[in-house]
Amino acid sequence: MEESNQEFLLDPKIIENYALLQDIGVLQHIDRLTKEIKEYQSLLFGAAEIFNCTTTDEIMDATVWQISDLYLPSFVAFIWKPLQNRNDVIVKGYQNYKFVDMNLNIENIIPMESFFQMNREPVAYEDLREALNKEPEAKLILKSLDKLIPELVIPILGPQGLYGIILVGAKILTGKYTASELLFLRQLMSFVSQAIQNHIHYEHSVRDVKTGLFNHGFFTTRLSEEVARVRRTGYTSSLIVSDVDKFKNFNDSYGHLAGDKVLEYIAQTIKQSVRTDDVPSRFGGEEFTILLPNTDGEIAWRVAERVRTSIAGMAVPWDPPLPQVTVSLGVTSFNKENIADPDTIIRRADEALYQSKENGRNRITVWEGGSAILNLT
């Protein structure tokens, strides 16, 4: 584009009539068009980068990188609702392209939703503050946001409502955000919203809504893939199956909401106890599975023990207080020597789990081959 401009400006006829073209604004118009083309090129490049992201965190990072590159804001912060059926939010802040703790105490963004459904474009923080300052629930959010002194608030909207907001600080080097910059941000956010929407749809297809763990269908697909990989490579992988002890008592004595809360806390504990490459899943009801790729039996037992003790030690907030939650676990490992189809591998882990239940619960049993079961807890 710059080379084409140079060729155009060096044309003898342009040089001859340069003063006239300058006076009637042709050259200025060309400059504006050139700038707009560069902005659209940047927008398309940014959109392609955002759509190539595979996680919400990657989408956030790519968005922040682009905003920071273009405008050098003092900070950028995402306030994000990870699950559309929950009020919980995550705050992720950036300064100089690096993650920083913004120290924001925000429990939900629902009080902002109706405003942004009516005003779907980037808005000055002062205008947002004026619009929401009379709403009691919104005041609590604004009180926390006031610490940052953001200049812009950008909504991330989709068919399921307000996914989150982006706070953008004042530009470090220049003045206020211009109308064209606000238009660019609005267009960029339309791509961000679509990318997040696509990611949410994918997550809903592979995640259990109640616990956030992978669902049964995703687990069985991954287990089949892992069995094929073990056949091909020869390494050892493992499977843990766990079941909540006397779970019916929680539902019968304290109600199904208490039972749901127990399942949510167990899921959180399992997620904190495994590696990024592991596959923690809700198999069904109160039964959970953890697929451990490239993991032998000894390490699998350590993981199972970490899960067992962490769950036994967790406190589930409820009124009246709930009894101690425990789980029983079964572990099996598979390699080229004892490889089987996925259903057989699940059955082996289930047999070990059954022995844990029979031998007193809150324990781990390892399937050792044939009918031999080794109880280790």
Q: Which domains does the chain have, with CATH numbers?
A: 53-205 (3.30.450.40), 216-375 (3.30.70.270)
* DSSP assigned state of 122: -
Q: What is the DSSP string of 149-208?
A: --SEEEEEEETTEEEEEEEEPPBSSS-SPPHHHHHHHHHHHHHHHHHHHHHHHHHHHHB-
Question: Which pLDDT band, with edges at 50, 70 and 90, does 5 fall under?
Answer: low
As a whole number, mean pLDDT of residues 89-102 equals 85
Distances in Å between the Cα of 124 and the Cα atoms of 152, 153, 167 are 5, 6, 10
Could you read off the pLDDT of 32-86 as tens digits, one per residue? 777 777 777 777 777 888 888 878 888 888 888 888 888 889 998 888 876 655 5
Q: What is the DSSP string of 314-366?
A: -----SSPPPPP-EEEEEEEE-TTT---HHHHHHHHHHHHHHHHHTTSS-EEE
What is the pLDDT at residue 186? 79
As a whole number, mean pLDDT of residues 250-260 equals 91
Q: Decide: 241 and 346 in contact? Cβ < 8 Å.
A: yes
Could you read off the pLDDT of 162-187 as tens digits, one per residue? 888 888 898 888 788 888 888 888 78
What is the pLDDT at residue 42? 74
The Cα–Cα gap between 226 and 231 comes to 9
Could you read off the pLDDT of 105-116 as tens digits, one per residue? 887 888 888 898
Question: Which pLDDT band, with edges at 50, 70 and 90, does 287 fall under?
Answer: very high
91 pLDDT above the threshold of 90: no
Percent of the chain residues past pLDDT 70, beyond the cut: 89
What is the pLDDT at residue 220? 96
What is the pLDDT at residue 372? 45
Could you read off the pLDDT of 320-353 as tens digits, one per residue? 999 999 999 999 999 988 889 999 999 999 999 9
Torsional sign, CA 318, 319, 321, 322: negative
Could you read off the pLDDT of 123-141 as tens digits, one per residue? 889 999 999 988 888 888 8
Between 168 and 200, residue with greater pLDDT: 168
374 pLDDT above the threshold of 80: no
3-state DSSP assignment of residue 30: helix
3-state DSSP assignment of residue 373: strand
Q: Enter the pTM of the model.
A: 0.66
Active site residues: 286
